[in-house]
Amino acid sequence: MPDVNKVVLAYSGGLDTSVILKWLEETYNCEVVAFTADLGQGEELEPARRKAEAFGVKEIYVDDLRETFVRDYVFPMFRANAVYEGEYLLGTSIARPLIARRQVEIARETGADAVAHGATGKGNDQVRFELGYYGLEPGIRVIAPWREWDLNSRERLLQYAERHGIDIEGKREAGSAPYSMDANLLHISYEGGVLEDTWTEPEADMWLWTNAPETAPDEPQYIDIEFAGGDPVAVDGERLSPAALLSRLNQLGGRHGIGRIDIVENRYVGMKSRGCYETPGGTILLRAHRAMESITLDRDAAHLKDELMPRYAELVYQGYWFAPEREALQAMIDRTQQDVEGTVRLKLYKGNAIVVGRQSPKSLFDASVATFEDDAGAYDQQDAAGFIRLNALRLRLGANRRG
């Protein structure tokens, strides 16, 4: 086994990464740097610091990356209206490249020669993390314990923790944890447990961020979202930072039961996986952004974006954030967003975010042309006859050939 002197571990303080921390020290006889990213997961992160200190870790990073996450990762992705397989708003996927980038930066700062993560060998996250590492630091050593060790069940992890005196706060009996969850400012995800039966409805108490639509308020709430350069900048006239704005939309959407989905998706590693997601603010934002584009984007530019969006979403899902093709697509998308400016009004009601108004100083909508009333000569309807004949020419030729 090649020598490792120092490794930067993506560390949460939970069972898996606490065991990994000790396992790295024991297996590689190396120094471990603990890195915890605050992406708005809603948890107190100082216990992770204290736990790492109790392990004797000398270098501990607990970084608040919430603004960076939303500004530099979530918002660029939403400019593309990215949705994977028609439903998934990529909440976990978009967080991984930022964590990978910061891990590589810390490795450089501390002189570490390796990075490690707690993703399993069955999922997408191992790919996302490692493509990120290699895309930023080609020669970095990557350690993926789940692909190396024999601790392949929660029972074995708990036994290892007990043998090594690892204190796992709130640990449960083996097999009793109902779901595997991941949270950040964009979403919270649920996998495993009863969800592995695709016919079983999720339990009502699984959902943590959103009211059930049937118990949401009986009165709708109207909100205005202001855009500039394709990004949201204000809610109801109040300018907010990216992280604060998404938090506000999460609160509003959660109150009205918006953003729940239950899907079976195709993982990059080849298997199908069922996941449930709550993305209240993101669901509102996607609806509003598309509405803003509807009056500010040229028709064919908008259609081109829609054609490229599935490819962009697939690149994010699979972990190619730092790949040249994603960056090239981003440059094209960002060019289309220069005039995506104005305000969208939505009605939030029992699981729905309904667009009811949109206005922009750069709108391409011209009521004097589109009106069904007298347009005062703004549009000559007789022009349509020649337009239709020219576009029908190939169809007529084909029909004549068929006889």
Domain with CATH 3.90.1260.10 in the chain: 180-297+339-359
Which residues are paired to 118 by β-bridges? none
CATH classification code of 180-297+339-359: 3.90.1260.10
Give the amino acid at 280: P
d(CA 176, CA 208): 18
Cα-to-chain-centroid distance, residue 151: 29
What is the token pair recorded at 95? Answer: 């967080």
Residue 178: what pLDDT? Answer: 75
Residues 6+ apart with CB under 8 A from 340: 79, 227, 229, 230, 289, 292, 293, 296, 297
Confidence of residue 3 (pLDDT cuts 50, 70, 90): confident
Residue 335: what pLDDT? Answer: 98
Strand ranges for 184-315 from DSSP E:
188-191, 221-228, 231-235, 238-239, 260-266, 272-278
Local structure of 238: helix, strand or coil:
strand
This prediction has a pTM of: 0.94
With 0-12 / 13-18 / 19 or more C-beta atoms within 10 angstroms meaning exposed / middle / buried, residue 15 is buried
Residue 268 pLDDT exceeds 80 = yes
Residues 6+ apart with CB under 8 A from 66: 38, 39, 40, 185, 243
Q: What is the pLDDT of residues 165-196, one digit of tens each?
A: 887 654 444 344 578 899 999 999 999 999 99
CATH class, range 6-80+93-163: alpha beta
Confidence of residue 164 (pLDDT cuts 50, 70, 90): confident
d(CA 205, CA 216): 15
Q: What are the residue numbers of the active site?
A: 16, 96, 125, 180
d(CA 158, CA 169): 12
Domain with CATH 3.40.50.620 in the chain: 6-80+93-163
Q: What is the pLDDT of residues 42-78, one digit of tens each?
A: 888 888 899 899 889 999 999 999 999 999 999 999 9
Q: What is the pLDDT of residues 349-361, one digit of tens each?
A: 999 999 999 999 9
What is the token pair recorded at 280? Answer: 């209240």
